[in-house]
Structure 1
Amino acid sequence: MSYKLGILDQSPVTEGVSNFDTLQKTVDLVKKAEKWGYERFWVSEHHNTDLVAGSSPEVLVSYLLAKTSSIRIGSGGVMLQHYSPYKVAENFHVLSTLEPGRVDLGIGKAPGGLPLSTKALQYGRVDTGEDFKERLTFLQQLINNSVPETHEFAGIKATPTPPTKPETYLLGASVDSAKLAADLGISFAFAQFFNSDKEVLKEAAKTYRANYPGGTFILSVAVIAAQTEEEAKRLAGKQKIVKVFLASGRKLTLQTVEQAEKFGKESGEAYEVKEFDAEIISGTPEQVKSSLDELHELHGVDEFILHTPVPSPEERLRSFKLLSPKYIDQIAIYS
């Protein structure tokens, strides 16, 4: 196989299922993902929502590491605007000391929630004016134990120093994010399920490769596989991407129109909510793999992170199984 496969699990909440059972489904999925041959398993960060249970990826990552033995586990991702880069580095150094070579530190720029939860997360924090690039740069210096002598925190270390440092990934959906990841010499994951603009993806991949030829380029895609094309298309349905556009120029992707409207109101700005057709790759395992092959060839994708946006836990599990490396090996699709 010329590329690897991983999973993004947001721990979606199903009506009538407790939060305890929801997180247990994530535990069950990561165990199966390891058995099925997936390379890595990422969990997300969302706040103040009843739609998903994943609000603290670093805590969930530690639990999942303890429940598995070989698959890489990581954050998809930690929303750095809310936290001290130093504390994030310490958290992931502890995890990497406990499980060397298995920890991914995915960093996101989005808030992971509405303005009210952002305000709560940043309660009492003194805004020193640093931007995201400065925060991410400092975080990477801490991970590499390379804080410059000219830095105000020269000499500081994020302890304990792990035998193998966590792998850092910038998660984004823009050309600017691709350029930032390349400039910092870190891996980049483009979230196509957030931004289905093919031209943006093309330019982001081109920009990353041009500025960091040796970097790892991951594409996170929405996929739904079933035994028949008809069943997969039915599951994919007519899902939408919901975006809120603020007067200040910011735009964010939300899960529902209701969330987007609430975000706009809490922002205190004029806003507009728009729906777009979601980019979902659906079909039989053979058809989905053919689409992944095409994207791999077109953009030089090193790995795909699969996100399956269907409400039924059983159908999500089946889709991941049908697309897993070991399953597809058995039906002789991979060469």
Structure 2
Amino acid sequence: MLALNLLDYSPIDEGKTARQALLETTELAQLAERSGYKRFWVAEHHKVASVAGSSPEMLMMHLAASTSSIRIGSGGVMLPHYSAYKVAENFRMLEALHPNRIDLGIGRSRSYQAVNKALNSMRERAVPYEEQLDLLKQYFADEAALSAMPITDTAPELWLLGTGEGSAVLAAEKGMAYSYAHFARPSIDGMDIIRKYRSAFKASPFLEKPKVMIAVFAVVAETKEQAEEIAKAFDLWLLFVESNTPPPYYPSIETAKLRGFSANEAEKVRANRKRMIIGDPDFVKAEIERIADRYGADEVTVIPNVAGAENRMEGIRLLAEAFGLAHL
């Protein structure tokens, strides 16, 4: 059976605060657990004022304590910003308190040099990404000269996130699970990338055989018409994020209706729509299954990044019902 997960950005809705956004993420995680989702991940974003998710480890600690069974993870920690040792200790702490429930999703951010500099102000040299991955594995396997504390009987699941062949090959060589961002690069190249990951995979102490997750943007509502209305705000948010002066909030559906789009923006919207699945629960379910089948994916992570906490909650409820996920 295809496993279904969620990845939340903690969007700050128009008229709300970062605190409210984080509390809504907590409610979303609790609903995901009740609805039968396997994993609930949170993202790491910097210099994006409309989302509150800047420190996944901190938010994960809160979410893991606010739930009891769902796996809690990062989607992902941008490893080049940090020391592998500190990441290992953060996630060992999480694993010690919530054993067999923690996922470490690792990414490689290439943007915002100012952020990387601020987070690495005392580092003398940039450690190569591949070297950092090796260090992480050594820390979790207690094979490093310096032990990452606290020592735990279990380890978090290790996932490498990416959109290209380079990340897939790295995941295969390191014996890690691989999460492909279909929402960022929905092309036929993705299937070739996944095939290369599977064929090049080398078993590790953390994973015996390849495991593939794909991540998708999904807008789900009771009807297709309602989903289209909600998607208009998503269209506008993506335009804002890609602009030079994005506002510090996720625009409401009403704002999106009133504003409209220029001809140039409309073209960008059409391009971005290829990155989304929009519709009623049965349509979105069918599309998720079709895409997962094309990739041969073991799991699908849905990103319900839409305006309004009530719309996010309703969307994941409807999708859980369509997939027949177990309710607690």
Q: TM-score per shorter chain, which class?
A: 0.7 to 0.9
| Larger relative strand fraction | 1
The answer to whether residue 175 in structure 2 is matched with residue 185 in structure 1 is yes
Q: Deviations over 1:60-79 (max 9, x none)?
A: 10111111100000111111
The match for 1:137 is 134
Q: Residues 258 and 34 from structure 1, CA distance in 2 versus in 1: closer, same or farther, beyond 3 angstroms?
A: same
Secondary structure at the aligned position of 2:215 is classed as strand
The match for 1:38 is 37
The answer to whether residue 281 in structure 2 is matched with residue 291 in structure 1 is no
Q: Residues 289 and 158 from structure 1, CA distance in 2 versus in 1: closer, same or farther, beyond 3 angstroms?
A: same
The answer to whether residue 185 in structure 2 is matched with residue 195 in structure 1 is yes
Which has the larger displacement, 162-171 or 204-213? 204-213
Which 4+ runs in 1 deviate beyond 3 A? 240-243
Q: Which residue identity lines up with residue 243 of structure 2 in the other structure?
A: V
**In the aligned structure 1, how far is the partner of 2:141 from the partner of 2:237?**
37
Residue 255 of structure 1: CA displacement? 2.8
C-alpha contact (below 8 Å) 1:236/1:280 kept by paired residues = no
Residue 193 of structure 1: CA displacement? 1.4
Q: Residues 285 and 310 from structure 1, CA distance in 2 versus in 1: closer, same or farther, beyond 3 angstroms?
A: same
Residue 90 of structure 1: CA displacement? 0.8
Residue 288 of structure 1: CA displacement? 1.0
Secondary structure at the aligned position of 1:239 is classed as helix
**In the aligned structure 1, how far is the partner of 2:84 from the partner of 2:160?**
14
The answer to whether residue 244 in structure 2 is matched with residue 258 in structure 1 is yes
What pairs with 1:238-317 in structure 2 (closer than 5 Å)?
239=235, 255-258=241-244, 275=268, 276-278=271-273, 279-317=275-313
The answer to whether residue 222 in structure 2 is matched with residue 232 in structure 1 is no
Q: Deviations over 1:202-230 (max 9, x none)?
A: 11111111122821100000011111122
**In the aligned structure 2, how far is the partner of 1:223 from the partner of 1:89?**
32
Q: Which residue identity lines up with residue 89 of structure 2 in the other structure?
A: E
**In the aligned structure 1, how far is the partner of 2:38 from the partner of 2:61?**
17
**In the aligned structure 2, how far is the partner of 1:206 from the partner of 1:76?**
22
The answer to whether residue 72 in structure 2 is matched with residue 73 in structure 1 is yes
The answer to whether residue 119 in structure 2 is matched with residue 121 in structure 1 is yes
Q: Residues 330 and 8 from structure 1, CA distance in 2 versus in 1: closer, same or farther, beyond 3 angstroms?
A: closer
Q: Which runs of 5+ in 1 are unaligned?
A: 148-154, 244-253, 261-273
Q: Deviations over 1:112-137 (max 9, x none)?
A: x623222211112111x431111112
Q: Residues 255 and 95 from structure 1, CA distance in 2 versus in 1: closer, same or farther, beyond 3 angstroms?
A: same
RMSD: 2.3
The answer to whether residue 6 in structure 2 is matched with residue 4 in structure 1 is no
Secondary structure at the aligned position of 1:24 is classed as helix
The one of 153, 159, 163 equivalent to 1:173 is 163
The TM-score with structure 1 as length reference comes to: 0.83
Q: Residues 144 and 308 from structure 1, CA distance in 2 versus in 1: closer, same or farther, beyond 3 angstroms?
A: same
Q: Which runs of 5+ in 2 are unaligned?
A: 203-208, 247-266
| Corresponding pairs, count | 296
**In the aligned structure 2, how far is the partner of 1:322 from the partner of 1:257?**
32
Q: Deviations over 1:283-332 (max 9, x none)?
A: 111111111211222111011110023222211211111112x564289x
Residue 22 of structure 1: CA displacement? 1.1
